[in-house]
Amino acid sequence: MSAEPVLDVVGLHAAYGSTPVLRGIDMHLGKGEIVSLIGRNGVGKTTTMRCLIGLVRATAGHIRLRGQAITHLPPADRARLGIGYIPQGRQVFPRMTVEENLRVSQLAGGKSDPQMMERVFAYFPILKERRRQSAGTLSGGEQQQLAIGRAMVGNPLLLLLDEPSEGIQPSIVRMICEALKSIRDQLGVTILFVEQNLDTIMEISERCYVADKGTIVAEIGRQELHTSEAVRRHLLI
Amino acid sequence: MFAEIFSILYQFADVFAFLILAAAGLAIIFGMMGIINMAHGEFITCGIYVTVICVQQGMPLPLAQAIGALSAGLVGIALERTIIRHLYHRPLDSILATWGISLMVTQGMLLLLGSSWRGIGTPLGSFQVGDYTFSTYRLVLFGAAIGVLAGLYLVFMRTGYGIMARATMQNAEMAQALGVRTQHMYAASFGMGAALAGLCGALYAPTMTLIPTMGITFIIESFVTVVVGGANVLLGTAPAGILLAVVRTALNAWYGQIAGQIGLLIAVIVVIRLLPEGVSGWLSRRER
């Protein structure tokens, strides 16, 4: 792990009503790391991501972003502090153009850096071609690029991606993986992503956290990661 | 012949203006927050009374109307901050709460201000086409309705607030996760909806005798237009206004005012049956 901590999660608990979902998540990500969070369906991966951005309230535990406690901040404040969230299913604003989708982050963060918009177009050239098109008419892969670009415009320290390869053709997934690696290399952005697709995990992860029953049960390092059996075992349990 | 055609167009413009001005504020609040504001008529009443009071104090009418609209907007923001924001995602509770506010305001005004007030008279006189005489002020109201639609288009399509507001309308949770302070968007939009209701009242103030329950005069047309138009004020309100104005004008001309009112209600029943999400819902589906 890099020396400079970006995200520290300690003993994170969350519940839907009276049903506990997260029962003590611990994670630590350093600057510029690409880390995946894996596990079977229903173990709390998406809830962890939603809890990190603040869409699900933490009932116990701590979240720190670059050392600053953000556990009880609302989602908008966390986004402004540097968390970019790309949800499962993309959730672009379908009746707004590509450019308007990108401008939401720019306007909300109060950052009027036109360079970041141009950088996003450099990573995802298709977005520039389709900038006047309604986001709802884009293909799944284009929407995923838009969702990542939209989070990037906010100039984040940390990107949270929830199943970025879901429902997208493999060639586009590879292209997105390359773009994510470039974003990390060029901008030093830390990336945490939830994934079920073994190829995607192997392609870009440097470490894996394995979730089960709302807690982290294993951490797989770079060496072990490349013997894919270890990852496969945790996905298929 | 020209005079007859002009008369029909004039009546269409009059009905269209009434529908658009009455519905615009309600449509914004419903489209943005999903709140069915039963106190909409009272915001209109607020605009009317403030305008009349200001004119009676010697203020020029346009300034009084601006103050009337602004007052309703400020009351709207205060109401959103104290009551409405606790009722987001609770549509039935919000209907009950706003209805309660409506009853309290009308009854309170009856007690405090009495059952009726003298109006201020319609300005700008009249003009003649053929054998018919028309009020010039009604043309101003039509111009104001077009101005409101154009203004809403510019605000929602060409400003930063508009982009964030539309994002909030489409997916509030995602907008928050991108840094949009949705509570501020809601407060601003509720205030804008209330101010537009107040503007409606302010514009119609010179044409009416004041009674505390006069909001009800506008409420049926407001709701009918919003139901036909659907949740998207930009896509739905103008087509709904045109459709309903055509129905009403035609029936008014052929069978009288009551037939026009009945026709309006039949039109809304037919639209609910055929387009449950209104014109804007239908147009959005066609886009996808």
pLDDT tens, residue by residue, A92-150 = 999 899 999 999 998 987 655 678 889 999 999 999 999 999 999 999 999 999 999 99
Residue B287 belongs to some domain of the structure? no
Contact, B225 vs B22, CB < 8 A?
yes
Task: Count CA atoms closer than 13 A to A5's CA, side-chain side.
Answer: 12
Q: Which CATH architecture has domain A5-236?
A: 3-Layer(aba) Sandwich (3.40)
Q: Which residues of A touch B174 (CB under 8 A)?
A: 87, 91, 93
Question: How high is the mean pLDDT of chain A?
Answer: 89
- Percentage of chain A lying above the pLDDT 70 cut: 92
Residue A223 has pLDDT above 70, yes or no: yes
> How far from A54 is each of A51, B4, B175, B200, CA to CA, in Å?
5, 63, 12, 40
Contact, B182 vs B176, CB < 8 A?
yes
Q: Which residues of B touch A154 (CB under 8 A)?
A: 178-179
Contact, A173 vs A179, CB < 8 A?
no
Tokens matching residue B259 = 């037939």
Q: Report the C-alpha gap between B240 and B78 in whole angstroms.
A: 30
Give residue B187's pLDDT: 92
Nearest CA in chain B to A111: B179
DSSP A135: G
Q: Where are the domains of chain A?
A: 5-236
Give residue A165's pLDDT: 87
Q: Which has more confidence, B213 or A142?
A: A142
Give residue A111's pLDDT: 57
Contact, A31 vs A2, CB < 8 A?
yes
What is the mean predicted confidence (pLDDT) over B229-237? 84
The B-side interface with A (CB below 8 A) comprises 160, 163-164, 166-167, 170-171, 173-182, 232, 284, 287-288
Give residue B221's pLDDT: 87
DSSP assignment string, B78-115: HHHHHTGGGGTT-HHHHHHHHHHHHHHHHHHHHHHH-S
Q: Is A108–B170 a contact, with Cβ atoms under 8 angstroms apart? A: no
- The range of the structural domain enclosing residue B59 comes to 2-279
> How far from A20 is each of A38, A222, A227, A235, CA to CA, in Å?
19, 31, 33, 22
Residue B288 belongs to some domain of the structure? no
Range with lowest mean pLDDT among A161-175, A219-233, B215-229: A219-233
Give residue A189's pLDDT: 94
Nearest CA in chain A to B177: A75
Tokens matching residue B156 = 């929602």
What is the mean predicted confidence (pLDDT) over A162-174? 89
The A-side interface with B (CB below 8 A) comprises 53-55, 74-76, 79-80, 85, 87, 91, 93-96, 100-101, 103-105, 107-109, 134, 136-137, 150-151, 154
Tokens matching residue B139 = 């043309």
pLDDT band at A48 (very low <50, low <70, confident <90, very high): very high
pLDDT tens, residue by residue, B240-257 = 999 999 999 999 888 888
Residue A236 has pLDDT above 70, yes or no: no
What is the mean predicted confidence (pLDDT) over B268-286? 85
Which residue matches tokens 């996905």? A235
Question: Which one of B163, B164, B178 has the shortest CB-CB distance to A79?
Answer: B178
What is the mean predicted confidence (pLDDT) over B149-158? 93
- Percentage of chain B lying above the pLDDT 90 cut: 58
pLDDT band at A70 (very low <50, low <70, confident <90, very high): very high
Q: Where are the alpha helices (DSSP H) in A3-113?
A: 45-53, 75-81, 98-109
Residue B19 has pLDDT above 80, yes or no: yes
Residue B235 belongs to some domain of the structure? yes
Residue A237 has pLDDT above 70, yes or no: no
Give residue A113's pLDDT: 65
Q: Report the C-alpha gap between B82 and B232 in whole angstroms.
A: 26
Contact, B228 vs B283, CB < 8 A?
no
Tokens matching residue A46 = 């998406």
pLDDT tens, residue by residue, B167-211 = 998 899 999 999 999 999 999 999 999 999 999 999 999 998 888
Give residue B69's pLDDT: 97
Q: Which has more confidence, B158 or B2?
A: B158
The residue type of B40 is H
Residue B282 has pLDDT above 80, yes or no: yes
What is the mean predicted confidence (pLDDT) over B146-153? 94
Residues linked to residue A194 through DSSP beta bridges, in sequence order: A37, A162
pLDDT band at B83 (very low <50, low <70, confident <90, very high): very high
Residue B3 has pLDDT above 80, yes or no: yes
Full-model pTM: 0.86
The total of structural domains in chain B comes to 1
Q: Please, which residues have CB within 8 angstroms of residue A42's CB and are 6 or more apart in sequence?
A: none
Q: Which residues of B touch A85 (CB under 8 A)?
A: 177-178
The residue type of A106 is Q
Residue B284 belongs to some domain of the structure? no
Give the CATH number of the domain where residue B199 resides. Answer: 1.10.3470
Nearest CA in chain A to B168: A93
Q: Please, which residues have CB within 8 angstroms of residue A80's CB and are 6 or more apart in sequence?
A: A108, A109, A110, A154, B179
Residue B286 belongs to some domain of the structure? no
Q: What is the 3 state secondary structure string of B122-172?
A: CCCCEEEECCEEEEHHHHHHHHHHHHHHHHHHHHHHHCHHHHHHHHHHHCH
Using alpha carbons, select from B10, B35, B48 the residue that is nearest to residue B226.
Answer: B35
Helix (DSSP H) and strand (DSSP E) numbers for chain A: 10, 10
Give residue B174's pLDDT: 96
Range with lowest mean pLDDT among A150-164, A177-191, A214-228, B9-23: A214-228
Contact, A5 vs A32, CB < 8 A?
no
Q: Is B178–A108 a contact, with Cβ atoms under 8 angstroms apart? A: yes
> How far from B50 is each of B29, B68, B75, B198, B199, CA to CA, in Å?
22, 5, 12, 9, 11
Q: Which has more confidence, B122 or A224?
A: B122
Q: Is B174–A151 a contact, with Cβ atoms under 8 angstroms apart? A: no
Q: Which has more confidence, B118 or A122?
A: A122
Q: Report the C-alpha gap between B1 and A218 in whole angstroms.
A: 86
Mutate to test the interface with B, among A56, A65, A93 (most CBs of B within 10 A): A93
Give residue A230's pLDDT: 66
